[in-house]
Chains A and B, each alone.
Chain A
Amino acid sequence: MLTCKEISQLASESLDRTLTLRERFTLKIHLFRCDMCSRYVRQLKFLRRACADADVEQLTDAAELTGEARARIRNRLRRA
């Protein structure tokens, strides 16, 4: 039997590689009996979807190039 700690690692890896049949089975059995790990898996999947769909505005503060940086880049581009 795997612990919740081990299951959390396996759940994360399921987002990065194809689990073996045996691993998938182990995961399923554990999730069937464990509410917290089931939530954790759902939350990781939500995180994945949210990040993939996020636009650049959501992922950064409304950061802008400073006037100084802008001038520096403009100068450099002129010499290109």
Chain B
Amino acid sequence: MARIAAHIAVILTAAALPGGAAVALEEAAPIGDAERGAELFTDCVGCHQVGPEAENRIGPHLNDIFGRRAGAIEGFPYSEGLARMGADGLTWTLETLDAYIENPRALVSRTRMAYPGMESAGDRADLLAYLRQFSASPANIPEAEPTAIVREVDLPPEVLEIAGDPAYGEYLSAECTTCHRRDGASDGIPSITNWPEEDFVVAMHAYRQEIRPHPVMQMMAKRLSDDEIAALAAYFARID
């Protein structure tokens, strides 16, 4: 209910903005309810431990499971199937863990994990929110796995139609100018000042679709909506 209310608030804010600027198409939400996940974990404790005193039992301990390569705990007798998946590059992330818990044998053939699978996506989210607390914190290790997910927010079409507002682009540009100098100087980082609008838009979509390969720019572009990209293009094209 709170989440629905938040969506409405976002849409209302958008409508009330001066100049009709659009807002972000996304908002972050916790992975799930960790307290409820702790209760669900009682189904797992027959085989798995997690927490400060956790040790390998029938299954491996689950500390630092997020970001860990599958089958990576030295000395633990993994099934051949899981060891092979690890060697092939399977890493435990929110997505891969979710798929594994939903149906272990669908992700890893002949895994020894006898668990039949957790059907409810909500239950899985809560369980993973609980387990996430026992893996590295991004505040300490920035490369640690995310702790929240970005949800799509449906915006009414009239908001989406607004494009190329340079004033909104100026606001958004604060994130760009941490690296790209507004005055157009380019040493090490290319200038984006006075770029033709169309080139700018095409480049940003190429980053968003991972056609252009730069990880910082992919990250930046992926959370820009179409009209935010247009707004930025309009702003940078018009800088004096």
Note whether A and B form a binding pair: no
